[in-house]
Structure 1
């Protein structure tokens, strides 16, 4: 019997899905720190196969212990740059989950799939489970890619996606928060270095455009994944009354966020409806327990949030920045060769 088997036990958390793998201590009272070597060995073996693991019933005293656990995997924890949602910094490299009102659901998405650079690893720590709801549903991005209708997948792949964002004006996150600076020159420099077209408008606010991938190939497993946020950025994601009000008040180019095919043409509502139906089919949902830690491969597994009541505190850490242009370097840095 291996050392791993003596201190850890594993099973499917959801009976109908291999995602996520549930990992628990074989004896009570063990902390993540005490069995980190065994957990890391299990992650190395299972994360690329499963896409995600939930660590439950381990002693996690506080957010600082979670921070140390995530950092122990060896990559510096990332700051939240060019974010699309409001978050607050809790500790260095640890942020609140998206600070949308509790009654709102957040659709499935891969973190920062609306950019050309994203984190490969993401951890969640449930410091306080909600009284009701507040789950973090997940889904296999490989299965989503396979289930999307071939004609839709081909068009998205061929054209890519153009994300258009208008910041501030009380309608979306201010650009100073998104770029972590109040200096326009710093913003312009960041955009130039990251393939983002930026336009300073007459009212002092900012508009950006960026053409990004709709699908992506995992650098280690070589699996193709559905990797975009078209269904989330598109105005059809908003409630009908909110959508109508915005279109009465604003020209389309001034909407807080919108997405088009990469050539600038409109994405059909019917296409997005088909995509959302596939996402719904692949959603895996389970209740949080206070103290749970979930680790996901951000390319292989998408995540979401359900509405909730009562206090809820889930924090997030991210690591291993990746861009399509550095696939070979990423593989060598991780000393793993794709199969």
Structure 2
């Protein structure tokens, strides 16, 4: 952390500080006066190279970011092509050239902490959020250190999740979840099948023409650069217990458990105990760091080191997202 303490003092005219405790997530970077973001790209690139692996998240605040195009130039400056949102689990709008809206869930709903696409075997290593318009109330993007979450998870729970992995089951369409055409960005069944085979996803076309998939994935992972262990899954999000009890009861009254829009099991197919998921949710809540958005903010996260979510909000809100540096885990690492 010595290098981080030096960064917190100053970096080439930029003010670098911590939002909370010294060195804690996120690091906040501000210019000495409001100035175009483009003028600082070279310094910011070096600062991120030093800071992001240690802190996991950097908040760029007080820069002049006149719209989505300036945000795009910023994320492109790190030298990696932006990723498309493949095998998505939530509705988003493609704004072009690798920029998307943040998850388009109703404003009154909270989105629990999670790492992007940690329900798959392939995910982005970097993710950026840009606040074009903060909401009138709420709408924060809470974040948390996935290393700290891993350390706080009960040892027996962590052992079981690590050994068994997780099986995510998804049923698309029928007005209950994303249609498969939107999740896979195609109308062609053959393209869906090829994608599933390549990514080790079991699939079946049901009698009603809809699609069901199953995939066994990691519950924890090691960061490929640092070797640090992180809590890296979306069991608490996919499990039916994430729904309000009345909604869960209504769904289970309408469809069999196997046909729920999404659910998750241990990797051997056995059910995950509700009390285990409540423990996980409690740890996530205890690790959450929350701060209000300011217009023009850009939050950059190492997707394996930092989880993110969304608080309910009122009033208009626009936060856009970009992702880069795809990483694939080998199935053998989960065994």
TM range (shorter): over 0.9
Q: Distance in 1 between matches of 2:90 and 2:168?
A: 15
Query: Is structure 2 residue 81 aligned with structure 1 residue 76?
Result: yes
Paired position in structure 2 for 1:333: none
Displacement of 1:91 = 2.2
Runs of 4+ in 1 over 2 A off after TM superposition: 4-7, 14-17
Q: Distance in 1 between matches of 2:124 and 2:30?
A: 26
| Structure 2 residue ranges without an equivalent (≥5) | 1-5
Q: Distance in 1 between matches of 2:249 and 2:107?
A: 23
Query: Is structure 2 residue 219 aligned with structure 1 residue 214?
Result: yes
Paired position in structure 2 for 1:29: 34
Paired position in structure 2 for 1:13: 19
Paired position in structure 2 for 1:186: 191
Query: Is structure 2 residue 321 aligned with structure 1 residue 325?
Result: no
Q: Secondary structure at the match of 1:79?
A: coil
The alpha-carbon distance between structure 1 residues 16 and 170, as it changes in their structure 2 partners (threshold 3 A), is: farther
Query: Is structure 2 residue 176 aligned with structure 1 residue 150?
Result: no
Displacement of 1:16 = 7.6
Match of 2:177 among 172, 176, 179: 172
Give the TM-score normalised by the residue count of structure 1.
Answer: 0.94
Q: Distance in 1 between matches of 2:135 and 2:20?
A: 20
Q: Is the 8 A contact 1:17 1:284 kept in 2?
A: no
Q: Distance in 1 between matches of 2:124 and 2:282?
A: 26
Displacement of 1:17 = 6.9
| Structure 1 residue ranges without an equivalent (≥5) | 327-339
Paired position in structure 1 for 2:206: 201
Paired position in structure 2 for 1:265: 270
Q: Which residues of 2 match residues 107-186 of structure 1 at below 5 A?
A: 107-186=112-191
Give the TM-score normalised by the residue count of structure 2.
Answer: 0.95
Q: Is the 8 A contact 1:7 1:35 kept in 2?
A: no
Paired position in structure 2 for 1:302: 307
Displacement of 1:290 = 0.6
Displacement of 1:29 = 2.9
Q: Secondary structure at the match of 1:208?
A: strand
Displacement of 1:32 = 1.8
CA RMSD of aligned residues (A): 1.6
Q: Is the 8 A contact 1:64 1:91 kept in 2?
A: no
Q: Is the 8 A contact 2:23 2:55 kept in 1?
A: no
Q: Distance in 2 between matches of 1:178 and 1:31?
A: 36
Q: Is the 8 A contact 2:12 2:43 kept in 1?
A: no
Paired position in structure 2 for 1:103: 108
Displacement of 1:14 = 2.7
Q: Distance in 1 between matches of 2:269 and 2:164?
A: 9
